[in-house]
Every structure is written in C-alpha cells, then in structure tokens.
Amino acid sequence: MTKLYCDTSNLKEIDYCIKKYNVDGVTTNPSLIYKSGRDFKEVIKEIARIVSGPISAEVTSLDKNEMIDQGLELSKIANNIVIKVPLTEHGLIACKNLSKKSIKVNVTLCFSSSQALIAAKMGATYISPFIGRLDDISNEGLNLIEEIITIYSNYPDRLSTEVLVASIRSPLQVAQVAQMGADVATIPPKIIKQMIKHPLTDIGLNSFMEDWKKTGQTF
C-alpha cells in the first residue's frame, strides 16, 4: 500500500494531515458532512482548493438516474473529484455510466468479495470494503480484504479496480491491510496521529535525553 487518505470533511483536519503526514487524498460521506454542519457542495469545493489528490464525494440519492446527474455535477467541481456510489444495483448502474464518461467512481459499503467482483466488472475505480463494521458484527474484516485482493490479483489484465480499505479502527489495521497489499487505506485523522505513537519510542527517547543531560554537554 502506497497511499493513505484522510477520512474526514473537516478542513482544518485535512490541511493538518496534508502538511504533517503527507496524505494522498480525502474521502467524505454524508455522515461526515452532517457532522460538519455545512453545505455539502461548498465543503467539497473548499477541500478541492487544498487537496491535489483524489477526493471522494458521495451521491445522496438511491435512484440511478439521480446518482448519475449528481455525479456529473460533482465531477465539475474539480478534476480530482471521485464519485462515491453505494453498492446497490442502482449504484452499480450509475458506476458503469459514469465510468464510461471517464469519471472515476468509488463504490462504497462493500461487505463481501462477490460485491467487490461485480463492482470491478462495472468499472469501479475503487472498491471500499468496510472492515470495522464487519468486526462489529463478529465477522473478520481482514479476511474480506484478503479475498478481494486475491480475486483482483487473479485477473490483472481484466480487473483494474483499486482496493480502498475503509472503516479502519486502529493503526494495527492500517499495517495489516498494507501487508496484504491493499492499494489505499482511508483513515480518520485521530488514527493517522496514533500511527506515529509507541510507548517504547517515548521510553527510549526519555532515556536518551536523561543520559545527554548527565554528560553536562551543550550542543
């Protein structure tokens, strides 16, 4: 995995993660927009002003025709907008239509490898499997990532969809999906900040600094 995305619609968090952690893109969804308390399109426009990488903006309809119309409108905001559609029949039809227009599509709310396969066949640029939500119902989310990567790897000439792992709950899960070969992990800012933390790093650094003081030297 070479790409880390920031999963938020908060402009300050996005700016911080870009400048401090060199994240590669941003994902948003209606829940994150709701938390922001702001106008959806204005938020996406503001994100596009500070982010050069992919920005996933999600449609808000369940009807294929409305999804297509919304996707076309959102894609006009900036050339790095990726349209997020749900993994439903209507969402996949919208995916196929938008993909044919050279608009990148992120098919979201994936919970099975069969869903991931059909999404790839319909032209998805990204598939977003949610591992944390599977863990919440006592299923192993990481198993799903392994299954999807295996399927896609079996047909590299015919399936080009990237695996964008979502619903990540810990730095450990980021490392685990990277080991599996996931293309992208989208991570809440809180988890991104936790990735640099380790108690042994703090203990070792404190020890080094205490020993430096004992030398009586200055730099």
* N-to-C CA span, the chain: 39
Q: Is 35 a catalytic residue?
A: no
- Number of structural domains (the chain) is 1
Confidence band for 219, pLDDT divided at 50, 70 and 90: confident
Domain of 32, in residue numbers = 3-215
Judge whether residue 1 has pLDDT over 80.
Answer: no
CATH of the domain at 100: 3.20.20.70
The pLDDT, as a whole number, for residue 35 is 85
| pLDDT at residue 37, rounded to an integer | 87
Q: Which whole-number Å values give the CA distances from 113 to 40, 92, 170, in the listed order?
A: 31, 15, 22
Question: In percent, how much of the chain has pLDDT > 90?
Answer: 94
pLDDT score of 20 more than 80: yes
Are the beta carbons of 131 and 167 closer than 8 angstroms? yes
The predicted-structure confidence for 157-184, as pLDDT tens digits, reads as follows 999 999 999 999 999 999 999 999 999 9
In this model, does residue 113 exceed pLDDT 90? yes
Which position among 3, 20, 76, 84 bears the catalytic label?
84
The label of the residue with tokens 């066949």 reads 121
Looking at 98-158, which runs of residues are DSSP E strands?
A: 105-110, 126-129
For position 13, what pLDDT does the model report? 96
For residues 22 and 60, give the distance between their C-alpha atoms in angstroms, rounded to a whole number. 29
